[in-house]
Amino acid sequence: MIRTRTLVAAGGAVVLVVLAVVFLGGSLPGVMGGVDALDIDGRADAHGGGRVSYSAGWTHYGGDAGGSRYSALDQITANNVGALAPAWEYKTGDMARPDKAKRRSATEATPILVDDALVLCTPYNEIIAVDPGSGEEIWRFDSNVSLDLQPANQFVCRGVAYWRDDGAANGEACASRIFMGTNDSRLIAVDAKTGEPCAAFGDNGTVAIDPGMDLIWPGEFQITSPPVVIHDTVIVGSAISDNARVIAPSGAVRAFDARTGESKWSFDPIPRGAEATADWQGAAPPVEGHANVWAPMSVDRDRGLVFLPTSSASPDFYGGLRPGDNRHANSVVALDGETGAVRWSFQTVHHDVWDYDVSAQPGLYSVWKNGAWRDVVAQVTKMGLVFVLDRETGEPFLPVEERAAPQTAVDGEVLSPTQPFPVLTPPVVPNRVSPADAFGLTIFDKRACARLIRNSQSEGLYTPPSTQGTLIYPANSGGANWGGAAYDAARNLLVVNMSNIAHHVQLIPEKDVPEMTRVFHESEVSPQTGAPFGMKREVLVSPLGLPCTPPPWGVIAAVDLGTGEIVWRKTFGTVEELAGGMKLKLGTPNVGGPIATAGGLVFIGAAMDNYLRAFDIASGEELWQGALPASAQATPMTYEWKGRQYVVVYAGGQARMGTTLGDSLIAFALP
């Protein structure tokens, strides 16, 4: 059963909430200053006739190729959103999967509206097309991914990509195509009208991606985020298991001909052989792997550019074998879409030893400043920082400065003396915690947390991993994660949700890894084979299972990209599903992203409770909740169909987070 209600203020006493299973992660002020819609007199209309133009459809994973997650639809507004009600529900059948598969699943897909159908992928790499007005199934394609796979990043498919062959005749098979990457590292093309494989693409619709070396186990190498298409080229990244080994699969991004599947180019963020630079200062050319692009990419068709969010090199928590800044790891990299050549690169973390991947889609926006539109790339990060870059050059659009970083490292490690920080935008979530900040349900719980913090290395952001144990705050999973941000150009407002807990990471001498694995068999212990240290990682929680960092444990905020100011910041999520139905607004860790509309609204699921929410984009006020049969760790989308605006979200939960699992694609609309 699905129900909706207008928001009622919640309160109540603090209760025990067991969040130790959460892999994501401050006491924050609320509103930092409300704003109305910015005065746009004297500049072009942001939603039609000016430099920025958005459609009423949703043809890409991020709404458009640049990931704005913005819709020009305004049928649903702050004045009538309280009347929003379920319009239809479609069940994918995921809940009929074996328990062993469901326990390793994450439902994170956003549908697209193309060729008169809503098209999405399931965690198990089925592609499904449904009628936009009724939710009735039109066609279904099964890639037959083995459920015996052991995917390091769970069974995940965040979305698909669409391409229309301008050289094909109307009605020709595969004149329009849907592309999907799979958990067993294939790129698949099917006919967007029928779901049949495109026979001329690769081997009957499939290109198998070669990871370049033998895998330790099936599932070490996956494709979890949607491909992107620029002109006649389809491009995919990869998701690779962290911390298994130093000599690991390459994080190369691969491009293929959209018609034939033939390889066009490959870009490895780590330089090899003679290409090695001063940024990779080992005794020999780099042997490390990864720096892969597991998060969604963006495309600027006019400039012919593809924007990559790259991750850390292997392994995450020891970099002594890869001295230097490790460019182009942990970077926003702009590539020529036809050749794969680097146009520019901006590094958000130098010499990463914290697992601070660039984890979200680079946002390609136009910002109104000093009487003119400026094309930018905005990058939200796990660290809670927001970088805004000039899209043409990669130079900071809002100023960035290098600040001294902690330097107490284990033997053999050579850290960067500085790290980049935005000057105008403060961190959206805290990055420093002291024993006095410790949260606890009881005085004993609070004291235990204070002791854990006191006994750990904790010098603020970029405190290096240690054998003593280091607090990484925000946690390795954010801050912001793959859900990214939404942008309203009329207000210059970027809206982003972030998690707000800490990880405790301890380096383990190589000889002690087997024993630590045996003793801490319920924790994450990884060997980092080839490095002098393995690692152990845990969420920083009290003996009662509560986060030791103070709530809220989830926030949503709006940043003015013209000035860098945080305009508003609010607690996000309740512990209702974790506390026996008590709607305590302590915030929760969150996975999934927001969307924004011309109706002045932000829609988002993402939290650990079972709701789709609507916020007023100008003030951050929460206006509406639509109850869901499962948690929505997927970004919603919106579209117009036969004169009616719908808001759709895939509610299926996330096994690793411990949220409610399900298999419902749900559409809301006004009566």
Give the catalytic positions in this structure.
Answer: 355
β-strand 503-509 against 533-539: which pairing, if any? Answer: antiparallel
Phi-psi region of 125 (alpha: psi -120 to 50; beta: other; left: phi over 0): left
Residue 225: is it exposed, middle or buried by C-beta count within 10 angstroms (0-12/13-18/19+)? buried
| 3-state SS, residue 509 | strand
d(CA 314, CA 341): 23
CB contact at 8 A, 217 and 240? no
Torsion from C-alpha of 278, 280, 282, 287, nearest 10 degrees: -140
In eight-state DSSP terms, residue 341 is -
Rg (CA), the chain: 23
Contacts of 372 (CB under 8 A, 6+ apart): none
The residue with tokens 């925000």 is 474
d(CA 459, CA 434): 9
d(CA 667, CA 671): 12
- How is 163-194 classified by DSSP, letter by letter? EE-TTSPTT-TTSEEEEEE-TTSEEEEEETTT
First to last CA, the chain: 18
Contacts of 45 (CB under 8 A, 6+ apart): none
Q: Which helix (H) or strand (E) holds 422?
A: strand 418-422
d(CA 136, CA 134): 5
d(CA 483, CA 306): 19
Nearest residue to 81 (alpha-carbon basis) of 602, 655, 535, 663 = 602
List the strands of the sheet with 305-309, edge to edge: 298-300, 305-309, 331-336, 342-347
In eight-state DSSP terms, residue 657 is G
The neighbouring-strand residues paired with 139 are 129
Which residue type, as a one-letter code, is found at position 227? Answer: P
| 3-state SS, residue 443 | helix
The residue with tokens 């290409």 is 275
